[in-house]
Chains A and B, each alone.
Chain A
Amino acid sequence: MTEQEQGAAQQPESEKPRIGVYICRCGGNISDVVDTEALAKQVQSLGDVATCKVETFMCSDPGQATIVEDIQKQGLNRVVVASCSPFLHELTFRTAVQRGGLNPYLYEHVNIREQDSWVHKHDPAGATAKALRMISAAVGKLHHVEQLERIRLGNHRQALVVGGGIAGLKAAVELAGKGIPVILVEQSPQLGGRVASLARTFPGEIEGPEFVHKLADQVTGHPLIRVFRRARVESVSGFVGNFDVRIAVESQPGASEPPDGHGQAAPAEAQEFHASVGTIIMATGSDPYTPARGEYGFAEQPAVVTLPDFLRQLADTPDGEFRWNGRPVRNVGFLHCVGSRQVDGVNPPQPDGKINDYCSRYCCTAILQQALTLKQRFPAVNVFDFYQDIRTYGRGREDYYTKSSAAGVVFLRFHGDEPPVVEPGENGSALKVRVKDWLTFGEEVEVPLDLLVLGVGMVPHAIPELIDRLKLPVGADRFLQEVHPKLRPVETAVNGVLLAGTAQAPMDIEETFSAAGAAAVKAAILLSRDVVELDPFVAEVDAEKCNGCERCLEECAYTGALLKETVEIDGETVVKARVNPGLCFGCGACVAICPTRAIDLKGWTLDQFDAMVDGLIEAVPVAG
């Protein structure tokens, strides 16, 4: 299954290192503190440094061209650039080195900006000395580098989408549009998820079911998309390009469907499907927060309902006099931030002991949309809105606030550490809400209500098995976590597993679509070739030194990354460790535990570390 094509063209390793060192001034960011010219002179005297140059901007085209030219003309075979953080430009210079005709891993990056000039502004001499030691360490390491090749693995060019809500549907449609086969797994009998039950959606005021049907039709009608309804991912294993998935289906997909819902048991003719996929898109969505019994009167006061329930029932309420469960209603309250932006010590913790301190983001707009709808359909009803902050962010959303305000919705503002108190009402009203209102200068007021709508937030849909099997990172808010919120917003730390929609964080429909589209594009990139290329920095076992003690196997945090192999050596059956490069993250835990130094991390070997330490110590900065 795993095909690893190691090492392409071998270059002669015997030749003596000729190292080029390039020091970047970073337009003064570095050179204002570090004496780059003096530094260059001292670097020149380090072992095997053939050339050392100072440039104002190494990352500029002329800067990169210098490297390429020197490799070709001066026969450099190792390169160091001392500049900014490797997160910024390591790849830039590796590519330059490659353009010069060298293996890109014969390169070392030294960060003398973030780790030196920026933090030692007030000690220029010290900073210059430190830069020399850092460069010396890199030069030392370069004496022990090998040529590395990126790991190439086979790629199953189809995608698994987990979840048939709008995020999953959108991702599936986009991927299939790119010509990539998709397997879509939905646990309920129907596609469309939560949005399918929304009477009206924002922006655009489109009916939820209508909009979902359009999307679902594209999915079900697409020849490249296989939809499994009433199905779940029974097990999953493998790594990017090579995930092995078992899907359990309660009844045959496409069989006659019950009219509604999760609760309906289908005629059980359970089936199981196997599939190999290259990427997995997690579109498992979210659930509305369920308040605890008695939280703002929920489940104790019949006049307290959640926003999703209100939405459904309002859509079915005939025009005329506004009635709720048969009772005429004159005063309606909407309460923001129920189950969101909770405050430690004020709101009781959730079953897992945490509080939901995040903002659910959709609720402000959703509440005001409903408040406005209510006011437009039943102008005689008084509407009160209890909020902390109105966060109707996004294009056109502020209109809901402006219009609700103009329609006569009365706003009362509370602080998170003093949430409103809901009590049984008096004088014919079902409830009264007591609130310290900061629009009334912090005075406590009492609002008699006939109905209170709790603007419940979003909580991630529980998928403990999938999280466990895929080792997916989960944030403090229990949502699945991306690698980087800005730079890699839909990727997870698990290579090949992508995030779409509210499984990742509270989002509205617009954002969910954007996220799903982004996940589809990322998946399409991963599936665009027959092979998957990975960084070569993985562990490697020297079978001769390995004594089969298996301690590395206990230490390894990534299931399947280290394997136990039984081999016969000289007629003797022995146990040896072997690395599966597709699953290894290169964390180095096995290297540290190995008693015989049988494991090394490619690109970060123990010998290289030794050389770096020597380099740090040996460099003696000359004052001046």
Chain B
Amino acid sequence: MGATTMPHTVDPDFRKELLRFGAGSLIDCFNCGNCTAVCPLSEGNVAFPRKLIRYAQLGLKEKIAQSPEPWLCYSCGECSATCPRSAKPGETMAALRRYAIAWFDPTGLAGRMYRSTAVTLTVTLLLAGLLAFLLVALEPAQPLHGWIFGLVPYTLVHEMGMVVFALLGIGAVAGSVALVRKYRRSLDGDSPLRGLPWSARLRVLKRLGREIATMSRHAQCDEEQEQEPEPWYRTPRAIHYSVMAGFLGLFTASALDFIFIFFLHWSWFPPARVLGTISGLVMLYGVGVSIYQRYQGKATYLTSSTLSDWWLLAFLLVLAITGFWLEVAVSFGWQQPANDVVLLIHTVMAMELVLLVMVTKLAHALYRPLALGLLFARQEQNLLQTSRGNDD
């Protein structure tokens, strides 16, 4: 395993910095390694949390940025529950994920939002106001429409929207590239796929696909819960899975609706409606239980929640509720004066969620699969090395 030969410089101020991202107590950790020992996902050469906690203690930011490990953790909380010093390593892992999102975000917005509640709320509300204003102004019947598009050409606003989405795409790519490039530094600049035969690369992809579809690694965390195992539908993995699957289902349904109704001018597209309804129910369940459990704060993996957790859950909850409202309204021709407001809220929040994807907790949907891919590639490399070693 290639490690960079340059010594990394200790940054004593990093601990305080990481506390603002919601880290556990780094002072209390005495590097015993219990956390790594109990972690069901920690293995051989991808040992965590201890390693990352140590990096954080010393403020070895570069080493942290090079480590995919924070993304491999599903926050089962076992480490925090067994930590002999109550240093909450699980929360530090979560903080390191937030820190990584901020690190890979070139705009610096993510960092500011994580550090400050005020900034998060201001950004959320300002963006919501702007989006609402634009959405209302797009309706030609509204007096605002004439006023605003008397000042600014309609096409410009439309194209700016396209530019914003393009920038978002660039942001996502930039974040991914940054993560992989940092990781490559830990390999002395080598590609994580270097030397891997195509069959092995294919295996990496297949495992990644299976992992996204099944969250089987997350299931390993559940096995760790010893006393009174939760029924399957209340396991952390089931809840997480329902939020993710519901979100992806809704995203797909919305996209299908957009294509068939907006572009192809169908009156309605039944498969999208069915998918959307089921997905919405599934997500509502996941989000609902998540919010309830976080509110109770009983489960080991949910002892402390930060604003970024609530922010995402709140968005998903409101989107799900407003989505059902609109579906009922559309499907049953339920005329309500509030419908317009609900539609506005739904659209604004959906757009906001997408626009802020790279600076909020939602960014893990991109970084985690990437990190998993790197992990699988590393495991393939190890297999390759072992078999070569055996040949010698």
Contacts and interface: CB of A to CB of B under 8 A. Distances in A.
Contacts of A441: 51, 54
B12 A446 contact: no
Interface range for A: 20 to 34
A603 interface: no
B322 interface: no
Contacts of A410: 10, 12, 57-58
A331 B7 contact: no
Contact of B30 (A405, A440, A444): A405
B183 to A, nearest CB: 16
A461 B81 CA distance: 52
A252 B101 CA distance: 78
Interface string A429-460: 00010100101110111111000000000000
A86 interface: no
A432 B30 CA distance: 23
A406 B7 contact: no
Nearest to A440: B54
A434 B27 CA distance: 22
Given A405-B30, A440-B58, A446 B51 contact: no
A411 B31 CA distance: 10
Interface residues of B, number: 20
A621 interface: no
B37 to A, nearest CB: 15
B55 interface: yes
A479 interface: no
Nearest to B63: A443
A622 B128 CA distance: 111
A441 B58 CA distance: 13
Given A410-B58, A445-B58, A434 B12 contact: no
A331 B54 CA distance: 18
Contacts of A411: 30-31
A448 B10 contact: yes
Interface in A389-444: 405-408, 410-412, 432, 434, 437, 439-441, 443-444
Nearest to B47: A441
B60 interface: yes
Nearest to A408: B27
A412 to B, nearest CB: 8
B3 interface: yes
Contacts of A443: 3, 7-8, 63
B31 A439 contact: yes
Q: Considering residues B13, B30, B51, which has the most beta carbons from chain A within 10 angstroms of its beta carbon?
A: B30
A382 interface: yes
Nearest to A444: B7
B9 A446 contact: yes
Contacts of B54: 439-441
B12 A440 contact: no
Contacts of B3: 443
B28 interface: yes
Given A408-B27, A440-B55, A440-B58, A445 B12 contact: no
Interface string B162-205: 00000000000000000000000000000000000000000000
A354 B179 CA distance: 52
A384 interface: yes
Nearest to B12: A382
A406 B31 CA distance: 13
Nearest to B29: A405
A407 B31 CA distance: 16
A1 B348 CA distance: 111
Given A439-B31, A440-B54, A447 B8 contact: no
Contacts of B5: 444
A330 B12 CA distance: 9
B49 to A, nearest CB: 13
A89 B10 CA distance: 62
Contacts of A440: 54-55, 58, 60
Contacts of A446: 7-10
B27 A406 contact: yes
A447 B10 contact: yes
Nearest to A429: B9
B8 A445 contact: yes
A445 B27 contact: no
Contact of A445 (B13, B28, B51, B60): B60
Given A439-B54, A440-B54, A440-B60, A445 B31 contact: no
Contacts of A447: 9-10
A414 to B, nearest CB: 13
A437 B54 CA distance: 11
B60 A331 contact: no
A382 B55 CA distance: 16
B71 to A, nearest CB: 20
B35 to A, nearest CB: 14
Contacts of B7: 434, 443-446
A448 B9 contact: yes
Given A441-B51, A445-B7, A406 B28 contact: yes
Given A407-B27, A443-B8, 8 more contacts: A382-B13, A405-B27, A432-B9, A445-B7, A445-B60, A446-B7, A447-B10, A448-B10
13 contacts: A331-B12, A382-B13, A405-B28, A407-B27, A408-B15, A410-B10, A410-B12, A440-B55, A444-B7, A444-B8, A445-B8, A445-B9, A448-B9
Interface of A: 330-331, 382, 384, 405-408, 410-412, 432, 434, 437, 439-441, 443-448
